[in-house]
Structure 1
Amino acid sequence: MLASASEVVMQITVRHRQEFVEQGYSLLPRVLDEETLTMLREECSYFVGYVDGSMKARGRETYGITHRGKRYFISGRYRESRRLPGFLFGQLMADITSAFLGDESYLFVEQWVVKGAEQGMKFAWHQDGGYVKFSDPKTRHRPYLTCWCALDDMSEDNGTIFVMPHDRANTRNHILPHRAEPDTNDLVGYEGSDPGEPIEVPAGSVVVFSSTTLHRSSANTTEAPRRAYLAQYSGEVIQRSTGGAWAHAVPFTRSGQIIYEPGADHGPSGLRSPELE
């Protein structure tokens, strides 16, 4: 049974916070209610269909780390939805960000990550902050928070994520060097033998982890797509080394209270997936 939004605060305990600080991640099982989970699945289907059709019409099989039919990374589209802002800037995410980031937070990135049925590709070991540093080596910022929302039951067979605890990778507050992988366009931050810890959670769960936490995902070999929605938040406006803010930088909470103003939230963000244009 999925939780109601009002129940999530009681589910975030000292143990969850301690896990996050010490190991870089923690699990919040079944914290999305049925209505929210259904909404996210519907929005996901719309945007994946749009991207897939757009790429097919242009004769493109790959764009960045998106590979048509195999895996999709679709960013920066929440302003085109009537329903997504209510989730990204709602009480549930305010409770989660307050617990793991502190009293002040900003929306950094939101992204659909979907693996196609039977041929969904793996994704290499990386840190989310590794993508920021690879693009902007001189930028400096505190680690930000990834909320990985499982829209399906997650298993090794359908391409769930594996995480590497901080103490096994020396990644607490530390970004490792990453290299670009030519065939997939993935960034690779770890090539050792440690397989990491598989995250097998039911649909409606949220996995929270730090932007310095190493993680990867396996291939999807099942007959159904594997769907996740990422909502990333920072405790400060992350600045580019050349000036200006990285990503969305939309104010969300201050002193633990929601301060998001829909009327002041307008793009472009610079994160829109260009394969849709």
Structure 2
Amino acid sequence: MNMATKQSVDLKAADKRLKQFAKVVNSDHATRKVKSSETLSCGVDLGTSSIVLTVLDQNDQIIYGAFEYAKAVRDGIVVNYVDSVNILKRLKHQAETVLGVELTTACGAIPPGTGDSSAKIVANVIEAAELTCKHVVDEPTAAAKFLNLKTGTVVDIGGGTTGISVFNHGRLTQVLDEATGGFHMTLVLAGNHQINSDDAELLKRDPDKEPEVFPVIRPVVEKMATIVKDSVGNSIKQPVVVVGGAINFKDFIPAFSKVLGMPAYKTVFPQFITPLGIAMYDHD
């Protein structure tokens, strides 16, 4: 990692926090006991393949997290409102049982450029789960918040979309979204193996199958890098940090960087960066 990257974003610190979060996700314990008088911050990430609930304390320290696989969102848009609400209600109840306190507020997120109507639906899901929705932010910006990235580019590769946010000295200078993500990897894999998408998704998630999976989905990864290169062009800022669950392949970053024409970086558990960043916006 070059010196500019070290100055712009501390990936080692991010890795440490992400490992801590991974230990408590869907467990029956929190990182510490919670006082009834504490103010907690919650993030709700309605993703294409899962819905994630994160809980932080008033100092943005990790308290608890949980997720449930779902098919409630497609290309960044909620397509199954009822399922989304029911899953979030279950996650909220699970969190309250573990923490021993009531969760009252939360923030949500949407892919950049999907519009006010998408933000409204996300807010409605959160409100229907009996949480007051404080804000709905775009996903790459939430990721940058967690990473404490002031200057650089965040590429958030979700299930259905690739979101790109460029920051310069703390100012968001460019934000856009394209409809290519992990779901498109699954479709390519399904077509290649002549299996249904559910089986292809399971195959894609199996780390032992990566040697046979990644060569098939490499063209999708290269397309994602081409989208970033063509869309942002000379205005791209380094470091380029790629986040999202769809990048959990050891060869993803080398392939992505080669087409991009510059180094890209990722953390451990990149699928949890955006959900944690969302929760950091749940402040008065």
TM class by shorter-chain length? under 0.3
Whose relative contact order is higher, 1 or 2, with alpha carbons under 8 Å and at least 6 apart?
1
Q: Normalising to structure 1: TM-score of the pair?
A: 0.25
Q: Normalising by the residue count of structure 2, what TM-score does the alignment of the two structures yield?
A: 0.24
